[in-house]
């Protein structure tokens, strides 16, 4: 299933960059790499890659800036950040900028490959979800990653749409954070940083779809049970 996917590795440390490239090629991916932020950004913006592995600490343009610039051009481009272990703030900042996922260094190859497969699988599956989601004040177009609300046009990231689509499919009940992590992110584990990942995305979505994000009416919290999307019809 990995055949033909093209991955860009943006990493300044030569040993990691070359090691990663070798491993990914071994697993059947086509790999290109960049050793600096500028080169990485240039290649990333070419739009030729199914997935980008993005180191945060890079000379010149850092990983955050690259993530930001890619998202400004292409909200669907799958991006996995490479972060230092324990650097939760880095993870949160990257996710807020629109990265799909992260892997903490030093990572196991098996873990990395599983994350890559999960992100690629979701980016392929994204086309199959319901075309529109109707909320009391918002109309969401899942295919175009867009919406129209009281205050005009809304732009979503792919991950935000995945969360909304899953909640919409299960709108008859609250969905626990652990279930969102398992179904949308593909995480079997349940670490604190990962449940916070869900909360970060819910907060971002609320800022977009709620007239009063602090008093949500579309995407509500059911205490002790999870999040529930109140769809119309």
Please tell me whether residue 62 binds Ca ion under the rule CB under 5 A.
no
Asked if 65 touches Ca ion (CB under 5 A), the answer is: no
Contacting Ca ion (CB under 5 A), which of 31, 50, 55, 67? 55
CB atoms within 10 A of CB 177: 18
- Binding window for Ca ion (CB under 5 A); candidates: 17-25, 48-56, 97-105, 196-204: 48-56
Q: Which stretch binds Ca ion (CB under 5 A): 51-59, 162-170, 188-196, 200-208?
A: 51-59
90 contributes a contact to Ca ion by CB under 5 A: no
- Least separation, in Å, of the C-beta of 55 and Ca ion? 4
Instruction: Kindly tell me the number of DSSP H helices and DSSP E strands found in the chain.
Output: 8, 11
User: Between 47 and 59, whose beta carbon lies closer to Ca ion?
Assistant: 59
Work out the burial of residue 44: count CB atoms within 10 Å of its CB; fewer than 13 is exposed, 13-18 middle, 19 or more buried.
Answer: buried
Closer by beta carbon to Ca ion, 12 or else 178: 12
Report DSSP letters for 145-200, one per residue: TEEEETTEEEE--HHHHHHHHHHHHTTTS-B-HHHHIIIII------HHHHHHHHH
Q: Which stretch binds Ca ion (CB under 5 A): 5-13, 73-81, 93-101, 204-212?
A: 5-13
Question: Which stretch, 56-64, 121-129, 183-191, 221-229, contacts Ca ion (CB under 5 A)?
Answer: 56-64
In the bound state with Ca ion, the residue whose beta carbon lies nearer, of 10 and 145, is: 10
The tokens of 51 are what? 């997935």
Cβ neighbour number for residue 220 with a 10 Å cutoff: 16
The angle subtended at Cα 10 by Cα 7 and Cα 12, nearest 5°, is: 145
Identify the residue among 23, 38, 45, 57 touching Ca ion (CB under 5 A): 57
Which spans of this chain sit near Ca ion (rule: CB under 5 A)? 12, 55, 57
């Amino acid at each position: 299933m990995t055949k033909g996917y093209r991955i860009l590795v943006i990493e300044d440390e030569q040993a990691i960059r070359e090691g990663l490239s070798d491993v990914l090629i071994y697993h059947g991916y086509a790999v290109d790499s960049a050793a600096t932020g500028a080169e990485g950004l240039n290649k990333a913006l070419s739009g030729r890659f199914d997935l980008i592995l993005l180191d945060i600490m890079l000379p010149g343009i850092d990983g955050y800036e690259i993530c930001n610039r890619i998202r400004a051009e292409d909200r669907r481009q799958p991006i996995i950040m490479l972060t230092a272990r324990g650097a939760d703030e880095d993870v949160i900042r990257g996710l807020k900028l629109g990265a799909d996922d992260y892997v903490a260094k030093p990572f196991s190859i098996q873990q990395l490959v599983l994350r890559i497969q999960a992100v690629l699988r979701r980016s392929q599956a994204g086309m199959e979800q319901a075309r529109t989601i109707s909320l009391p004040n918002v109309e969401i177009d899942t295919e175009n990653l867009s919406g129209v609300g009281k205050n005009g046009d809304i732009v979503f990231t792919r991950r935000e749409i995945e969360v909304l689509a899953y909640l919409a499919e299960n709108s008859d009940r609250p969905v626990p954070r652990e279930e969102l992590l398992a179904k949308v992110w593909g995480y079997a584990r349940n670490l604190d940083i990962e449940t916070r990942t869900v909360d970060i995305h819910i907060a971002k979505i609320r800022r977009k779809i709620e007239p009063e994000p602090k008093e949500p009416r579309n995407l509500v919290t059911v205490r002790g049970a999870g999040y529930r999307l109140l769809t119309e019809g």
